[in-house]
Each structure stands twice: as structure tokens, then as C-alpha cells.
Structure 1
Amino acid sequence: MSIISILAIAIGLAMDAFAVSITSGILIKEFKNRHAFKISAFFGVAQGVMPLIGYALGYSFKSYIENIDHWIAFVMLVFIGGKMIIESRKSDDEKENFNPLNNKVLISLAIATSIDALVVGVGFAFLQVSVIPSCTIIAVVTFLICFLGVFIGRKSGDLFKSKAELIGGVILVIMGIKILIEHLFF
């Protein structure tokens, strides 16, 4: 597989994480550059590791993973997004404020947005792709795209401060529904 093909795959895989990075950038209250690095690192590592796991699983589990990957992503994104929407409706005193820098939240989001990379890794096993260089490219591309996404979210967050949590939750729910619809109907 050519480097151009791997880059195209990496960009495609990074798009869900990019959208979540924008949402995270909107929601961070006291932004520092290290926050963009942390978010990007979680997504980059997840996108780089999942194809390795998929590669290791190989052909025997391909049909099983393809049959449920969209459901896992859907449930995780709708759950997290729904929680954000509910929190946005509470008064400031009642809120548990959704924290996009919380490690548990980041792990959940990184896994939810990288399940498709797991299936790509299974495909790599059949195509006899050099998996380590390919996964490294996927991780680096995802990191860079997400880093940019956090800053885009940060800039647009200034426009939507009062509704950022609601908007972020709606975006995550929409992404979950989009993933489910794409896998079920297309």
C-alpha cells in the first residue's frame, strides 16, 4: 500500500476525532496549549493502537467487529453527548461540568472515535501492509489534525461560551447517530 493511500486512510480515520477535538476546544474553560497536546495525544495514540489490535485479531474476527463497531461508537457518543446536554440544562450550582480534559472522558472518546481504525487494522492483515509504519502515520496525522481541531474549537468557543456544553453534547449525539446510520444504511 502506498504512502499516499496510508495518508488518505489516516485523514479519514481522524475526522471523528477532529470533530470531538473541536468540541473539546469549545468546552475548555481555562485553555492552555498543553490541553491541546493532551487531547491530541489521547486521540493520536488510540488511532495508532487500534489498527495494531485489529491487525492482531486478523480475519477470524473481522465480521464480528464490523457488525458491532458502529453500535459501540453510537452508544458511547450518545451517552457522553446526552450527559453534556443534560448538564447544560442545569443551573451553574447543580452542574458537574463536563470536563474534556478528564482522563476517563478522553479514553472513552478516543475509543469511540477509533473503533473504525480497529477494522482498518484487520484489513491491513489481509493486505499484508507494513503495520508499524502505517500505524505510526495514522497516529501522527490524527495528533496533528486533533491539535488543530482543539484550537479551532477554542476560537469558536468564544462565540458560543454560554451554550458550549449544549452545542458540544449535540455534536457528539449527532456524530453517534451519523456513525450508526452510515454503517446500517450505506
Structure 2
Amino acid sequence: MKVPNMLTLLRIVLIPVLVAVYYLPLSWAPLAAGAIFAVAAVTDWFDGYLARKMNQMSPFGAFLDPVADKLMVAVALVMLVETYASPLLTVPAVIIVGREIVISALREWMAELGERASVAVSYIGKLKTTLQMVAIFALIIVDPGSNYAWTGIVALYLAAGLTLWSMMQYLMAAWPHLSDDL
């Protein structure tokens, strides 16, 4: 098995570990859960880098990498929404998860048309992902009642804004195909 694919599989294996550690009733659990999430976030970047650098790109990796990313983010956001129990966190979480569903469906549909390249990952998408990972990490490690939680919440709103912006870019790129039979 190729190293990038092993890193992607590691990210998937870390999901239940993240959940289990996050809910441990121990004082160090938030830091440990944050460390697990940080490892997953770094492997997200690292597996793509290695796949390109070592020329180990594969159909399996191309399929599984975005699945692993979306699962990790969605699971972390669901945990945080439950922990924070506030519309303040629920709104950006819904925007982020909703966008991932829309864009995944759009990419699949565009691929069926042979137009996958027109909805390829953009710079804004990469920036959005980075900000999202930083925000989620911050929200995992801080106490929801602390003043530091605002840093993560603000970063999550910025990520949600970039999420909407990148979704609009993807939809505009696909619009000629979407509007053919209106």
C-alpha cells in the first residue's frame, strides 16, 4: 500500500479515537482530542504532498482523501455543536457541512458529464480548509465558557464565509451545465 493512502486511512481510523478521547471525563481529554485532530489535519496536507512528490497518486487515494477529510470535519463539528449547544456554533457548522454535501454532489455530477476539472479544488478551497481546521482545533482544546472560545468561533465564521464563497465559485463554474435545461 502506498504511503499517502496509509495516511488517509490513518485519518479515518483516528475518527473514532477522536470521539472516544473527546468525551473522556478527564482534564487532559480536550488537549489529547485536539492533538488527535491536529495529527489528522496535518496528514490531510501531508498525504497529498507525498502523493504528488513521490508520484503515488491513485484512484483509491483520489476517492478516499476527500471522504476522510469530510468525515473528520463533520464528526468534529457535530461534537462541537453538541458541546457548545448554541446557535452561534450551529450556524457555521451547518453551512460547512451543507456546502460539503452540495459540492460533493456537484463534483460527482460534473464528473459524469466529463467536466470534473471545472470544479477542481481551488485556492479559496484550500484556504477555507486550513482556516476550518485551525478553528476546529481551537474549539476542541478550549473550554466552551472561556474567553478563548471566541477565537475559534470567529475563525469558524471566517471559514464559513470562505465556504460560501468557494461554493459560489464552484456553482458559477458549473452553471452553464446546470442551466442547460431550465
TM-score (norm 1): 0.37
Relative contact order higher in (CA < 8 Å, ≥ 6 apart): 1
